[in-house]
Structure 1
């Protein structure tokens, strides 16, 4: 990577990725805060699920409207708007007088999360040069995991006093940094071109590439926009692209139904169930789990173009299946009660680490690779909505499942779903390592499995 030539675009991606950090922070902070919110407002299990899941209702709304708004008003403007909503949501939830306004504030924060989940990687992808686009877009996923860890550490700092309002309210600081930082960032050249501002698009592209030689990239932008204009929603049902749509939506669903966000949202609660001392001890152990998430995400980013997508998905799923099975067994065997808390911590670390290697980052990368260009934007928005919808389903049913199936049964259910995910990946998900987007698209259109591409290209 030429740091000198790409210096400005790296700065842009880093500032923009604060949106991912806020995504992670507001996702993870509720895991510790809920331990004290439930006491403050005397919440039942169902009420706790609603407080935790309210942010996901907003996220579904934010993800569903962000594409249209980003196309109309621009990526940069919408990220600034998301930063404002993040900041106002932090203040609103910190000052809430009752659980109902807390839920309303969490829905507002969720709208910002949904917007950030779609627009932040889109903006980074559109300003990044092709040779470092994957690394810079992955920076957003890394920022999400860092945001989760930061939220856990903030939770731990305030755990002894139970100041949940500070836990929620401190998100205003990165919100201000994001909003002010994005004010000085350039609009997406691709968006400018789509609005007819060709000269300004060229000027921005020359600035962020630090060269006047941008003719080829301007041509690529024009061709891709022409291709997208020819797309209709009905094209998503075309038999030749249906396999790609199934793969994307399937990965989106399995990423959530294997239970990852039960850990993100409820890890301290799970560890308290396991008898791990105080709320502070549970939150500290959760922070350790978050660090594992960050480190293994970095490992995945380093390996993904060397080992491939499918191996990381399959290896990660095996780790998730085994760790979930062992976690359920630990809760099921009364003789392990004395050491159950630390067994739960170890199982959750293996589980989160396995997710961070596979389904976590690989899902987001693959949905940007497997779709033909003309339907890529719409197909990715459907996969993103499916992901958020099933995220909501898992979060809002976790405590109820524990009441209905018991703690062991709930984790065994997630483990069984993990087996289904392994079969799905093994049977249907192609390997896209080393294949250009054009090669993948050509094979889908031929009705062939993308794994055959190497053989055909060599011939």
Structure 2
């Protein structure tokens, strides 16, 4: 892509110095989380107005447009199409990160809500791993095939468009938001099966929540979210969970893992394969967490994951600082990165996405998700923009701010 940007700039008679490439590449990187910020707000609004299912259909449109723009970017000689494409896909992803966990929570029976919530993160992890595999130079990560790699998001989008019509709308949305008990019962029977023993219990529970919402005239409003103490506290906890996820340094590890491995002393080829290994580790531990979440609970898994990340982050920093003196610390740094990702996957990777749906009732869930997911995407873009500067300015010490932030997040979450 570096060659493509430089050649395109040269053909246009534009100055294609290193600073010019840095500006364009920064825009390409930042476009995705910027879109995510917009999508997080639009997703909450449309999922409340149209329903979860229709909202997912709507956000398939920017995904398709963005994928096509990036796929054709080299053919039409436009790096602007990559920026716009990533912005559009970011909008869709920002919406999906709010709608999908909420939909899974509303679909699932109480006893498996945690496991169902982790499925959202599991699909994300699988997608990241596939992107790492296809991004290898031997496959699509080369000067000839990179547009195909960028356009691969068309595939899951088409799968969604083909399968979503087969799924019902959220029963809770139909019962409480739309006040349509018959449609809610029909959707619940589709999800559980007509012979599911607890179906009437779930229906009565939704009816009770619906009656309470009507009797108290409760509404989904930003003003109410900050006025009522119990909602304010729940929102504070939800935001803390999202802050602890993004300010842990996980995106610095994932986005710049190859650079980090090179700085730890690995060759270019070995650094790429080591990065691929991080995706495998993330996938493996995410699968394991599905079986742990209901047994141990959300809070213990989240706090133990953050604690493990803090310890491994400190050890990783020590290994980086000592690598010139002791060559064995290169392998220590590699192990620390893998453990860091493993601890992330055990709880902090998945729990913030679905915990919001569990902390709030139906009438406040959309607003709470919009705020917490917005915070998540804001922190993502902060890390994406700031970490490269830290890497260039303080080198091996670039991961130290995340250690401080992990300590702060752990202290706050232990307290609350």
What TM bracket, shorter-length normalisation?
0.7 to 0.9
1:437-452 equivalent positions in 2, closer than 5 A: none
How far residue 267 of structure 1 moved from its aligned partner, in angstroms, is: 1.8
> Paired residue for 1:403?
392
State yes or no: 1:230 paired with 2:218: yes
Provide the residue aligned with 2:411 in structure 1. 423
Measure, in 1, the Cα distance between the counterparts of 2:41 and 2:273: 35
Which residue is 1:359 aligned to? 348
Measure, in 1, the Cα distance between the counterparts of 2:343 and 2:52.
33
Work out the CA distance in 2 between the residues paired with 1:112 and 1:305: 30
Contact 1:241–1:372 (CA under 8 A) maintained in structure 2: no
| C-alpha contact (below 8 Å) 1:135/1:301 kept by paired residues | yes
Counterpart pick for 2:238 among 245, 248, 263:
248
Deviation at 1:116?
1.1
Q: Cα 1:167–1:270, aligned 2, differ >3 Å: closer, same or farther?
A: farther
Alignment of structure 1 residues 31-50 onto 2, 5 Å: 37-42=1-6, 44-45=21-22, 47-50=24-27
Higher deviation after alignment, 44-53 or 148-157: 44-53
Give the superposition deviation at 1:235: 2.5
> 1:305 corresponds to which residue?
294
Unaligned runs of at least 5 residues, structure 2: 7-19
| Cα separation, 1, equivalents of 2:297 and 2:190 | 34
Residue among 63, 73, 83 paired with 1:86: 63
Q: Is the Cα–Cα contact under 8 Å of residues 45 and 366 in structure 2 kept in the other structure?
A: no
Number of residue-to-residue matches in the alignment: 390
SS at match of 1:360: coil
Say which of 33, 47, 62 aligns to 1:70. 47
Q: 1:394 to 1:46 in 2, by over 3 A?
A: farther
Structure 1: gaps (5+ residues): 1-36, 429-459
Stretch of structure 1 that moved more, 117-126 or 389-398: 117-126
Evaluate the alpha carbon distance shift between residue 185 and residue 241 of structure 1 in structure 2; reply closer, same or farther with a 3 A threshold. Answer: closer
Which has the larger displacement, 81-90 or 205-214?
A: 205-214
- C-alpha separation in 2, matches of 1:339 and 1:100: 44
Give CA-to-partner distance per residue, 1:38-74, whole Å, 9 cap, x none. 3432564454333222111111111101122112222
SS at 1:287 equivalent: helix
Give the Cα separation in 1 of the matches to 2:169 and 2:352.
Answer: 27
* Pairing partner for 1:169 from 137, 151, 156: 151
Structure 1 pair 374/326, CA: closer, same or farther in 2 (3 Å)? same
Change (3 A) 1:165 1:271: farther
On the 8 A contact 1:275/1:341 being kept in 2, the answer is: yes
Tell me whether 299-308 or 138-147 shows the greater mean CA deviation.
299-308
Matched, 1:189 2:174: no
In the TM superposition, what is the alpha-carbon distance from 1:266 to its structure 2 partner?
Answer: 2.1
Q: TM-score, normalised by structure 2?
A: 0.85
Task: Check conservation: 1:80, 1:183, Cα contact below 8 A.
Answer: no
Q: What is residue 207 of structure 1 aligned with on the other side?
A: 190
The whole-number CA distance in structure 2 between the counterparts of 1:342 and 1:45 is: 31
Give the TM-score, by structure 1 length: 0.77
In the alignment, structure 1 residue 414 sits paired with structure 2 residue 402: yes
Contact 2:53 2:169 in 1 (8 A): yes
Equivalent residue, structure 2, for 1:29: none
Tell me whether 1:267 sits opposite 2:231 in the alignment: no
**Native 8 Å contact 2:252 2:383 kept in 1:** yes
